[in-house]
Amino acid sequence: MSHGLLKGKKGIIFGALDPNSIAWITAERVFEEGGTFVLTNAPVAMRMGQINELAEKTNSKVIPADATSLEDLEKLVSDSMEILGGKLDFVLHSIGMSINVRKGKSYTDQNYDWTHKGLDVSAMSFHRVMQTLYKNDAMNEWGSIVALSYMAAQRVFPDYNDMADNKAFLESVARSFGYFFGKDKKVRVNTISQSPTPTTAGKGVKGFDGFIKYADKMSPLGNATAMDCANYTITLFSDLTRRVTLQNLYNDGGFSNMGVSDGIMDIIENS
């Protein structure tokens, strides 16, 4: 159901890989709410070609950009402003990748080249994106920038591996850059800490099936879906949340404040 919350707003959406991607579902919702945008992903992800279906559905253009390349980001931002006809109102950073996770290296046996790459892609890229937007004065006043995080930034989830550190870095960058963006440009910056969600990145984490069931049983409202995340993001892009900034906002059915739930106790007691 559309409320026209993003009518006339323009932006960039990073990270729509396939129809399960949180960014894909968010792009569909932004379109429904009247927003226009450029879609972007790493050139290697484009080869799978699915993003073009989304572009067609949402009347948007696709510009490839590796989020670790300043050159790609410069081009993305200037081309997007040209295509969309002016400065931007919203940006979604929905990017995450750990080679240690992908290759099954445990946290106590890191390949540091991979750790470095994962940090660059998953966290430093958020600084790069914001620095590019800031230096090019690419955001309209009262614009909104959102990145997606996970609560392993605060609490221990052993199999989330080096992604936990990447998310802690990401959330810190949101606060630090958010200060300058707020003071100098009246732009807000937040992260959404999302429940485990069955996407390509999510399912790559070892033991994901147990992980997602556990979170669901622990949360009084159950896990937040990708659609829930998309809807929350819409509110943060809208004018209804103009002074929400520097926050890490939990979209997790209540999981982050739980100790134990009846559902989990039943399983433990009956085991």
Ligand X SMILES: NC(=O)c1ccc[n+]([C@@H]2O[C@H](COP(=O)([O-])OP(=O)(O)OC[C@H]3O[C@@H](n4cnc5c(N)ncnc54)[C@H](O)[C@@H]3O)[C@@H](O)[C@H]2O)c1
Residues that bind ligand X (CB under 6 A): 14-15, 17, 21-23, 41-42, 45, 66-68, 94-97, 121, 148-150, 194, 196-197, 199-202
**Closer CB to ligand X, residue 94 or residue 238?**
94
Query: What does the alpha-carbon distance between residue 261 and residue 121 come to, in Å, rounded to a whole number?
Result: 35
Q: Is 117 exposed, middle or buried (0-12, 13-18, 19+ CB in 10 A)?
A: middle
Q: Rounded to 5 degrees, what are φ and ψ at 159?
A: -80, -5
Please give the radius of gyration of the chain, using alpha carbons only, rounded to the nearest integer: 18
**Closer CB to ligand X, residue 198 or residue 220?**
198
Query: What's the closest the beta carbon of residue 249 comes to ligand X, in angstroms?
Result: 12
Query: What does the alpha-carbon distance between residue 64 and residue 46 come to, in Å, rounded to a whole number?
Result: 7
Query: What's the closest the beta carbon of residue 175 comes to ligand X, in angstroms?
Result: 17
Q: Which of 108, 14, 134 is nearest to 62 (CA)?
A: 14
Query: What does the alpha-carbon distance between residue 77 and residue 60 come to, in Å, rounded to a whole number?
Result: 15
**Closer CB to ligand X, residue 172 or residue 186?**
172
| Length of the chain measured in residues | 271
**Closer CB to ligand X, residue 88 or residue 140?**
88
**Closer CB to ligand X, residue 43 or residue 86?**
43
DSSP E strands in 125-207: the ranges are: 139-149, 188-194
